[in-house]
Chains A and B, each alone.
Chain A
Amino acid sequence: MSEETQRFLDRLAEFRAGRLETRGQEPTWIAARRQAGAARFEAMGFPTRRDEAWKYTDVRAIARGDFALAEDAEFSQAGAAALTLPIDAHRLTFVDGVFAPALSWLDDLPAGVSLVPLSAALEENHEAVGGPLGRLTGVEFSPFSALNTAFMEEGAVLRLAPGTVVEKPIILQFLSRNGAQPVMSHPRILVQAGGRSQATLVEHHVGEEEAANFTNLVEEIILERNAILTHYKLQEAPLADLHVASIHVEQARDSRYTSFNLNLGGALVRTDLISELNGENATCDFYGLFYGQGRQHVDSHTLANHNAPHTFSNENYKGILDDRAHGVFNGKVVVKRDSQKIEGFQSNANLLLSDRAEIDAKPELEIYADDVKCSHGTTTGQLDEEAIYALRSRGIDRQTARGLLTLAFAGEVLEEVNLDAIAERVELAVAGKLPERFNLAGLVEAAVAMGDE
């Protein structure tokens, strides 16, 4: 076993001993899974570039790190307010993985919605959590999911009773602190959306500028019949943060899952997004935008598993890479035998803003049925110099012109973003301060209506 793997196992031993001392024995199923996670991690170690799924992503920055576990969730109110999305929402906040009640807002949760930290859900009824937890993302999925399981402690559990429609977005906010020593957290998110329920979940990763922490997230989302979930993952972590997320979705008949995987921050970012389309007419839409600068490394792996006939997947990922940033896109669509009449569309386009930026894009289709409609494609290009000149010739400075064209490139994804506060964050990150909000939807409508008078 490598020294690196051993260091994480040593941390785990300390963590378990400390836990036993302060909180006593935990339920046996949790202890058993922790053990299984540790064993699996010990056996696999961190992935290397010899592993196909990690061919373009080097995780040594994580493996070589010495991360402690955060002990408190202190964060100044003013500091948090500056980072928080200005959205009227139900909110759970975690600071370096530790639940922060003072920065959370759960007072007006409507009937049929249960939103609690994982620790509270376990205390209340650990068996109700133990059933679904780990069913979609087991310790076998990756060394990171094994590590997460070994360390699992906190996170969020969202349950929607059948027929519940949640008007306000539900925000899970993860704040990363600039502390004396880098810390790691292994949050666990479990979403159980009952039949015909409907909600918007916003997962927001952000933090103090100089922070350099490691977040290793595992997220399981279960959509019952006809449930509709829109899931925004806005990753604006500090530029030295390390971020790994494994998101697994299970979709029953007629359910709809829409994912926005928006990556703006982090030094090393890896996201795995998988949807199991298990019932007829289940639909998933994967929208992605990654913007890398400096030496950021952003890797998105997606997988749509068409396990049933008449299921639909649609994917559109846009990558924008500047400086010496490195992007990885791997999108896979798998159609099982007998999954006839499915539709799976996939598109990935990348924009390189510098000669030294790099993208590795790999779309994959695996089809074992014969009556299907699938397409995929990936393109990579640069900004159109003539268009930059055309904008400048109307008085718009070069930097803004580049920003506008970059946003225009991301347009197909951004236009689908219905939360203004999120679209604005993306605009600001990609284009800087603009003379106008890029999305002038309201103004356009007004102008067109005016023309109809």
Chain B
Amino acid sequence: MLEVKDLHVTVEGKEILKGLSLTINAGEVHAIMGPNGAGKSTLSSVIAGKEGYEVTSGSITFEGQDVLEMEVEERAQAGLLLGFQHPVEIPGVKNIYLLKSALNTQRAARGEGEMPAPEFLKLIKEKIAEMQMDASFLQRSVNEGFSGGEKKRNEILQMLVLQPKLAMLDEIDSGLDIDALRVVADGVNSLRAEDRGILLVTHYQRLLDYIVPDHVHVLIDGRIAKSGDAELARELESRGYDWVLEESAA
């Protein structure tokens, strides 16, 4: 589904990713862990097309398409969606407007017509209940005045409505209390499907108690230093990152 090959990325002249390779197949949940500054968020940002990142070499393909040649909106329409660590506030654009127009834009890209209003309302009702959000959130401006936890729920709500093929979640657990974390994790788990890939970027193993990944990768100094299964995450929790660094240097 997603193939990242020998990716080198610089930000403001500084090399952050130094030859990262990663393959995600449909049906798999991958977690990228690593110490601060290792380049975890850079990877998902580059895949989603955020500005300010220069890809100096390497490639990213998604279902055979060259992702780096696609516009930001084309990536989203193709089913690549990033849930942000710091979702921005968009004053004046109502949440329900964003959901409806994003959904219909995606449908249009697939050659489908608009979703009829009653069907859309039914869908929304189901999804906001799942995220334990109040319906009043729909008429508020996107993220404006939302608490940290509400913003994160809102990101997952967008995922649930838009049903991406590859959902990337950047530090979705940061700033969440345990109750909010459960709701967010349940939302992500409900996205698990045979035809969908999920990429979690996280600093803490805690999230992975709720969303158990199939593959765990340790990102150190711009490269994947070690890969394993969920057990690796638990090992990192108890031993820290230094041993991985030593092992990979050896």
Task: Give residues in A with beta carbon < 8 Å to B.
Answer: 384-387, 389-398, 400-401, 404-405, 407-409, 411, 434-436, 438, 440, 443-444, 446-448, 450-452
Q: How far is the CA of A15 from the CA of B104 in the complex (A)?
A: 58
Separation in Å of the A406 CB from the closest CB of chain B?
10
Are A450 and B73 interface neighbours, CB within 8 A?
A: no
Are B108 and A435 interface neighbours, CB within 8 A?
A: yes
CB neighbours (8 Å) of A452 from chain B are 135
CB neighbours (8 Å) of A408 from chain B are 90-93, 141
Separation in Å of the B122 CB from the closest CB of chain A?
9
Are A394 and B162 interface neighbours, CB within 8 A?
A: yes
Q: How far is the CA of A438 from the CA of B94 in the complex (A)?
A: 9
Asked whether A393 and B49 contact (CB < 8 A) given A448-B138, A448-B139, the answer is yes
Q: Which 6 A-B pairs have the closest CB atoms?
A: A451-B135, A408-B92, A395-B76, A394-B102, A435-B101, A411-B92
Are B135 and A440 interface neighbours, CB within 8 A?
A: no
CB neighbours (8 Å) of B202 from chain A are none
Q: How far is the CA of A148 from the CA of B224 in the complex (A)?
A: 77
Query: Is B81 an interface position by the 8 A CB rule?
Result: yes
Are A447 and B72 interface neighbours, CB within 8 A?
A: no
Query: Is B175 an interface position by the 8 A CB rule?
Result: no
Are B73 and A396 interface neighbours, CB within 8 A?
A: yes
Are B100 and A436 interface neighbours, CB within 8 A?
A: yes
Asked whether A392 and B72 contact (CB < 8 A) given A405-B93, A440-B94, the answer is yes
Asked whether A434 and B94 contact (CB < 8 A) given A395-B73, A395-B77, A443-B121, the answer is no
Given A392-B73, A452-B135, 14 more A-B residue pairs with CB atoms under 8 Å apart are A390-B90, A390-B142, A392-B71, A396-B105, A400-B105, A405-B93, A435-B101, A435-B105, A440-B100, A443-B100, A447-B124, A448-B135, A451-B125, A451-B128
Asked whether A389 and B100 contact (CB < 8 A) given A395-B77, A443-B117, A448-B136, the answer is no
Which residue from B50, B76, B139 sits with its C-beta under 8 Å from A394?
B76
Which residue from B87, B97, B100 sits with its C-beta under 8 Å from A390?
B87
Are A395 and B124 interface neighbours, CB within 8 A?
A: no
Which residue from A384, A386, A395, A440 sits with its C-beta under 8 Å from B97?
A440
Separation in Å of the A389 CB from the closest CB of chain B?
6
Query: Is B109 an interface position by the 8 A CB rule?
Result: yes
6 pairs from A and B in contact (CB 8 Å cutoff): A392-B76, A393-B49, A395-B109, A396-B101, A397-B73, A440-B100
Separation in Å of the B144 CB from the closest CB of chain A?
10
Asked whether A389 and B51 contact (CB < 8 A) given A408-B93, A435-B101, the answer is yes
Q: How far is the CA of A395 from the CA of B91 in the complex (A)?
A: 19
Which residue from B48, B84, B88, B125 sits with its C-beta under 8 Å from A447?
B125
Q: How far is the CA of A450 from the CA of B31 in the complex (A)?
A: 37
Query: Is B205 an interface position by the 8 A CB rule?
Result: no
Separation in Å of the A391 CB from the closest CB of chain B?
7
Query: Is B176 an interface position by the 8 A CB rule?
Result: no
CB neighbours (8 Å) of B125 from chain A are 447, 450-451
Task: Give residues in B with beta carbon < 8 Å to A.
Answer: 48-51, 71-73, 75-77, 81-82, 84, 87-94, 96-98, 100-102, 104-106, 108-109, 117, 120-121, 124-125, 128, 134-136, 138-139, 141-142, 158, 162
Are A393 and B82 interface neighbours, CB within 8 A?
A: yes
Separation in Å of the A435 CB from the closest CB of chain B?
4
Which residue from A390, A401, A411, A434 sits with its C-beta under 8 Å from B88?
A390
Q: How far is the CA of A443 from the CA of B125 in the complex (A)?
A: 12
Which residue from A384, A389, A434 sits with its C-beta under 8 Å from B101?
A434
Asked whether A394 and B135 contact (CB < 8 A) given A386-B88, A389-B50, A408-B92, the answer is no
Which residue from B73, B90, B108, B120 sits with its C-beta under 8 Å from A398?
B73
Are B77 and A405 interface neighbours, CB within 8 A?
A: no
Asked whether A387 and B96 contact (CB < 8 A) given A396-B73, A436-B104, the answer is no
Q: How far is the CA of A410 from the CA of B154 in the complex (A)?
A: 25
Asked whether A447 and B105 contact (CB < 8 A) given A387-B90, A389-B51, A408-B93, the answer is no
Separation in Å of the B153 CB from the closest CB of chain A?
15
Separation in Å of the B95 CB from the closest CB of chain A?
9
Most chain-B CB neighbours within 10 Å: which of A384, A395, A409, A443?
A395
Separation in Å of the B61 CB from the closest CB of chain A?
19
Are A444 and B96 interface neighbours, CB within 8 A?
A: yes
Separation in Å of the B201 CB from the closest CB of chain A?
15
Separation in Å of the A281 CB from the closest CB of chain B?
32
Q: How far is the CA of A447 from the CA of B118 in the complex (A)?
A: 10
CB neighbours (8 Å) of B90 from chain A are 384, 387, 390-391, 405, 408
Separation in Å of the A298 CB from the closest CB of chain B?
22
Q: How far is the CA of A389 from the CA of B135 in the complex (A)?
A: 26
Q: How far is the CA of A397 from the CA of B74 in the complex (A)?
A: 8
Separation in Å of the A80 CB from the closest CB of chain B?
31
Q: How far is the CA of A389 from the CA of B90 in the complex (A)?
A: 11
Asked whether A450 and B135 contact (CB < 8 A) given A396-B73, A436-B97, the answer is yes
CB neighbours (8 Å) of A447 from chain B are 96, 121, 124-125, 135, 138-139
Nearest to B75 among chain A residues (CB) is: A393
CB neighbours (8 Å) of A389 from chain B are 50-51, 72
Which residue from B49, B82, B92, B108 sits with its C-beta under 8 Å from A409?
B92
Separation in Å of the B248 CB from the closest CB of chain A?
33
Nearest to A401 among chain B residues (CB) is: B73
CB neighbours (8 Å) of A450 from chain B are 121, 125, 135
Q: How far is the CA of A55 from the CA of B125 in the complex (A)?
A: 55
